[in-house]
Every structure is written in structure tokens, then in C-alpha cells.
């Protein structure tokens, strides 16, 4: 049995006609996890929206005020890719709440997956970018630390580098960050020599390599982060745009690789919790297959 955390308000965010981060992503994930062959593996938990105090652990009040003011005006563009729609703030707060609740469920059950939409790993402390408004996985990490997990490992297999996550944790040795991503690619960060305080492990790779290379190299990055270091919880920025055929990436992975990674991460963590939060994935059938693979392996 795998705990899946969600909030129905995550469907309200709308970034405009033709935007790849569209409400149908959320519906595709729900439909896939409700299929008869998967439903028996899932225990659903509805999360409350995140409260302001939880967000201010990562994001400054002035930035949160700006999002609220923009939402009250009916929304607007924050950059070329990131548009706050009329009801988007409801989704943003719901998505952050899902990430926080997924940590709580993971601590109780050993694993959990949060359907976080919109995603979060590009969001900086005071800047939205790359479809992301709040950094869900860093909010989750700080919440885990507040609940007693002193050391947190974040791993990110989205095809795009989690620049926001790196920027928010790279000076804090209590959190380690591993990212395998297409490079050079949006957002242009994530070079191998970006090391933080020895807590950042980037695995930049070109598109089009054999899938076995990506599968191997990601776990090598995880093993480097785990050398002589024992985290209390592992958080996965689970982006499924790394699967072969996604329109926004050129990696060659298959859902079986997601199963392999998830099982390998659980094996490395032993009895310590593993919690996934959704990042990218823009071809609906691949997104659904990737999420199902991840949730099956978590269960």
C-alpha cells in the first residue's frame, strides 16, 4: 500500500492556452492512480492548503505578499513561462500543502507520494520561474527537519535542473541535493562543479544517451551523496519529463527505470522514509505511466 497525498484545488491553476503545465496533467495522474489495477495499492489522503507560517520558512513575506496582490488583481505573468491565473494561488497553496502532508504521511507509513501541481523545483526564495511559484520540495525538507529529521537528502530526476532547490540549500550542510538533468538545457544551471558546501551533487548529461547510462549515473550521484552520510529522510523531486518522448526533454528513460530507481532508493534508505513530490512531465500518457511506476515501487 502506498500513500498518495492530493488536494483537488491543484486542478485550478491555468497558465494560458497551449501552456504545457496544464490542468490535464493533474487529471491524468488521478485517472492513472484510480485504475482498477492500481487503485488497490493506493491509500488517498487529502492535504490542507499550506499556511503562511510554513511558507515563510523558505519564502520571504514580501514575495508571498506580491503573489497575493497579483492574485487579487486576477493574476498576471511572472516571467515568460510562468503565469498566475485567476485561481492559480489556490493551487499553489494546495500544492505546497500536499508536499508538507506527504512528509507527515511518509514519516508515519515509510513512504508517500504527493501530487504537487504546480511543480516547484525552479522556484527561488523570491522569484517564480519555470512554471514554479513555491519550492515544494524545500518546503517539505524544512518541514521534515521541524519534525525531527535533522539530515535530509533531496534527489531530483526531472530532465531540468532544480536550480531553485539548489539555490535554497547549497549553503546548508544538513541538506544534500542530487540532480541528474539534461545539460546544457533550461535553466542553464547544474554544472558538475557547482558543489555548494560539499552538499550539491550535480550529474549533468546530454540528451539522447542510452537509457542505461542515465540509470547508472543517477544512482552513482546518489551513492556519492550518501558516502559517510546518513540522511533521516529522502525526498524525490519526481519529474517525468525525463522519460523518452516528453516534448520538453531529450532523455531516453522508460517507466521501468523509474521502478529501478525507486526500489534502489528504498533499499539504500532501509527503514527510513522515502517521499516523492511531482515535478515535470508534459506528455500525459508518459506522465501517468511514470507516476504509476513510482507509486508501485514505493508500495
Report DSSP letters for 53-119, one per residue. Answer: HHHTTTS-HHHHHHHHHHHHTT-EESSSS-EE-TTHHHHHHHHHHHHHHHHHHHHHHSEEEE--SS-
Q: What is the CATH number for 135?
A: 3.40.800.20
Confidence at residue 12, expressed as pLDDT on a 0 to 100 scale: 98
Confidence at residue 76, expressed as pLDDT on a 0 to 100 scale: 97
Report residue 216's pLDDT band, with 50, 70 and 90 as the boundaries. Answer: very high
Report residue 147's pLDDT band, with 50, 70 and 90 as the boundaries. Answer: very high
> What's the average model confidence in pLDDT over 52-78?
98
Work out the burial of residue 87: count CB atoms within 10 Å of its CB; fewer than 13 is exposed, 13-18 middle, 19 or more buried: middle
Confidence at residue 82, expressed as pLDDT on a 0 to 100 scale: 98
Confidence at residue 6, expressed as pLDDT on a 0 to 100 scale: 99
> What's the average model confidence in pLDDT over 220-232?
98
Strand ordering across the sheet containing 111-114: 42-46, 2-6, 111-114, 274-278, 233-238, 152-156, 175-182, 200-205
Of these residues, 12, 122, 143, 161, which one is catalytic?
122
Report residue 174's pLDDT band, with 50, 70 and 90 as the boundaries. Answer: very high
Give me the percent of the chain exceeding a pLDDT of 70: 100
In the predicted model, what is the mean pLDDT of the chain? 98
Entry pTM: 0.98
Backbone angles phi, psi at 70, to 5 degrees: -65, -40
pLDDT tens digits, residue range 31-62? 999 999 999 999 999 999 999 999 999 999 99
Confidence at residue 164, expressed as pLDDT on a 0 to 100 scale: 99
Question: Does 122 participate in catalysis according to the annotation?
Answer: yes
How many domains does one find in the chain? 1
Packing angle of the helix pair 61-72, 88-109 (nearest 10 deg): 130
Confidence at residue 152, expressed as pLDDT on a 0 to 100 scale: 99
- Helix, strand and coil in the chain, % to nearest 5: 40, 20, 40
Continuous segment of H or E residues that includes residue 31: helix 23-33
Whole-angstrom Cα distance, residue 287 to residue 255? 9
Confidence at residue 214, expressed as pLDDT on a 0 to 100 scale: 98
pLDDT tens digits, residue range 252-289? 999 999 999 999 999 999 999 999 999 999 999 999 99
Q: Are 47 and 136 in contact (CB under 8 A)?
A: no
User: Which range marks the domain in which residue 78 is found?
Assistant: 2-298
Amino acid at each position: 500500500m502506498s500513500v498518495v497525498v492530493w488536494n483537488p484545488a491543484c486542478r485550478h491553476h491555468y497558465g494560458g492556452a497551449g501552456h504545457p503545465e496544464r490542468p490535464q496533467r493533474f487529471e491524468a495522474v488521478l485517472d492513472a492512480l484510480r485504475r482498477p489495477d492500481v487503485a488497490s495499492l493506493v491509500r488517498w489522503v487529502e492535504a490542507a492548503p499550506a499556511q503562511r507560517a510554513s511558507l515563510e520558512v523558505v519564502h520571504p513575506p514580501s514575495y508571498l505578499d506580491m503573489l497575493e496582490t497579483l492574485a487579487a488583481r486576477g493574476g498576471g505573468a511572472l516571467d515568460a513561462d510562468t503565469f498566475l491565473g485567476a485561481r492559480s494561488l489556490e493551487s499553489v497553496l494546495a500544492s505546497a500543502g500536499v508536499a508538507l502532508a506527504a512528509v507527515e504521511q511518509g514519516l508515519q507509513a515509510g513512504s508517500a507520494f504527493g501530487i504537487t501541481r504546480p511543480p516547484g523545483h525552479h522556484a527561488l526564495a523570491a522569484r517564480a520561474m519555470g512554471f514554479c511559484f513555491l519550492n515544494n520540495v524545500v518546503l517539505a525538507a524544512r518541514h521534515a527537519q521541524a519534525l525531527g529529521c535533522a539530515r535530509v537528502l533531496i534527489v531530483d530526476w526531472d530532465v531540468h535542473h532544480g536550480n531553485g532547490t539548489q539555490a535554497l540549500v547549497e549553503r546548508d550542510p544538513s541538506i544534500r541535493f542530487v540532480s541528474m538533468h539534461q545539460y546544457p538545457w533550461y535553466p542553464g544551471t547544474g554544472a558538475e562543479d557547482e558543489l555548494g558546501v560539499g552538499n550539491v551533487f550535480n550529474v549533468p548529461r546530454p540528451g539522447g544517451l542510452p537509457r542505461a547510462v542515465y540509470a547508472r549515473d543517477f544512482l552513482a550521484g546518489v551513492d556519492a551523496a550518501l558516502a559517510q552520510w546518513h540522511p533521516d529522510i529522502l525526498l524525490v523531486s519526481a519529474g517525468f519529463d525525463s522519460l523518452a518522448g516528453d516534448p520538453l526533454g531529450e532523455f531516453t528513460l522508460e517507466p521501468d527505470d523509474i521502478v529501478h530507481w525507486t526500489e534502489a532508493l528504498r533499499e539504500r534508505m532501509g527503514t527510513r522514509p522515502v517521499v516523492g513530490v511531482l515535478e515535470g512531465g508534459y506528455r500525459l500518457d508518459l506522465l501517468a505511466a511514470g507516476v504509476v511506476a513510482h507509486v508501485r515501487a514505493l508500495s
